[in-house]
Amino acid sequence: MSGTALIVDSVSTNRIICKAKLTAAFYGVFHAETGRAALDISAKQKPDIVMLKDNLPDITAIKLCRQLKTAATSDWTPVVIFFQSETNSGRIKALQAGADDVLSQPMTSSLVLARLRSLMRAREAAHELDLRDETARALGFAETGPRFEHPARHAIVALISNHYDNSKKTMVGLDNNATFTLKHITPEHLMTKSDKVTQPDVYIIDLAALDPERGMSLLIDLKSHTKTRLAATVVLIPKEYQNLAAYVLDLGANDVMIEPINAHELDIRLARLITRKRISDQLRMNIRSGLQAAITDPLTGLYNRRYAIPHMERMLTQAHENGRSCAIMVADMDHLKQINDQYGHAAGDTVLVEVSRRLNTNLRAVDLVARMGGEEFLIIMPETKQCEAETAGKRLCNVIHDTPIELPNRKFKLSVSISIGVALGGGNNGPRQSAAQLLDLADRALYGSKSEGRNRVTLIDHAA
């Protein structure tokens, strides 16, 4: 399932049509015809995204958006407002009220769905940070207080076009903004000098000042290059190329605007992107450095059992609530005792550290890797189906085995391997299982991998 959506529209025909389109895209759908009903459903059902039509009998869409955004149950829930007829001032008021996007009708279904997917990606990053914070607080390793510190520097926004004169109007409209530093760069400068300068927080790609094909190629480059892939991107699209908007969003753009471009609206959208990037940056920081030394393994730097088990319980709770599977993997080094006996414990430690690094760098940001003790690792993969878990497990086995590990003070490299057992929880995987029960099932699967010759992945049905 793509997620759950709440449709708020006073016209029943509109709700039926919208529900049919979202259901076809595998969304679960709730609907309401008044603002009061929308607030009640949002509090009880906690939808992943809310779509408001500005035709409600008891409240304006802007006021309802503001109430949804201040409700504790909707902290990270994107809100999209649809206007039948709109003005620049109406769009700006809606964005200032907290709307994550403002759309006008008629609009193609493909573009609406692409915008929803983009907002859902941003929501998941923010929500994952919340889950990790909750886990840390439950363990007593995080103090209460503001979630985010004010950034140490101004955000940097870079507008990409062939020449400054091509984007002068947009640059001048944004240049007086004091919340970020605005600069112009050419595609050539971006590709040749990006390693030597402070990386922007947001890139603006102006397709009116670039060949559209070149602009989309730049977007792909930005999202794949190590130095720029973490930056947010907004693409400005000429009206004659507006049919590209959905494609651009699915390529990874965080936002799109179709000409004519209103500088005030662009400014608000940029501020939103900068905020979201700060959230994503903090999530990555938590993944890299952990919460505190007390919940990390001192040798490998991975989370330890003390952190991993409560986090797994929270992931499983979420999996049962949203109906999406969560994969639990137990990975075990093959023949580590022989390595220790033959080459010494320093060699064994080197192998453990390198195996940990490879596991951690070959999974998604939302996945968690923990060292459970000795040569055993736990991997938690939220929103992962059985086939995806098996593919990921095989990839990890290959990553470990295909490249030998160089031992300290030795003139040779050592080939090592891991065995993996996988169990699934949440989703449609039968009765609810605790973290301990799923660990036991994954251990059984691991035993199957060991008995079948090691260096392989075995999946077990958690109800078996």
Q: What is the pLDDT of residues 333-376, one digit of tens each?
A: 999 999 999 989 989 999 999 999 999 999 998 999 999 999 99
Phi and psi based region of residue 354 (left: phi greater than 0; alpha: psi -120 to 50; beta: remaining): alpha
pLDDT for 83 beyond 80: yes
From 15-19, 157-161, 279-283, the region with the lowest mean pLDDT: 279-283
pLDDT for 321 beyond 90: no
**Where do the domains of the chain lie, and which CATH numbers do they carry?**
3-106 (3.40.50.2300), 155-289 (3.40.50.2300), 293-460 (3.30.70.270)
Give 138's pLDDT tier (boundaries 50, 70, 90): low
SS3 category, 405: strand
pLDDT for 463 beyond 50: no
For 252-277, write each residue's pLDDT tens digit: 999 999 988 888 899 999 988 898 88
Kindly report the number of other CB atoms within 10 A of residue 223's CB atom. 17
The tokens of 62 are what?
């802007």
Angle of helix 345-361 versus helix 386-402 axis, rounded to 10? 140
pLDDT for 128: 73
Give 322's pLDDT tier (boundaries 50, 70, 90): confident
Q: What percent of the chain has pLDDT over 70?
A: 87
pLDDT for 3: 87
**More confident position, 2 or 9:** 9
For 118-132, write each residue's pLDDT tens digit: 888 888 877 776 676
For 216-256, write each residue's pLDDT tens digit: 999 999 988 888 888 999 999 999 999 999 999 999 999 99
d(CA 225, CA 183): 20
pLDDT for 12: 93
Average pLDDT over residues 21-39: 93
pLDDT for 417: 95
Average pLDDT over residues 181-205: 82
For 378-406, write each residue's pLDDT tens digit: 999 999 999 999 999 999 999 999 999 98
Largest interatomic CA distance in the chain: 78
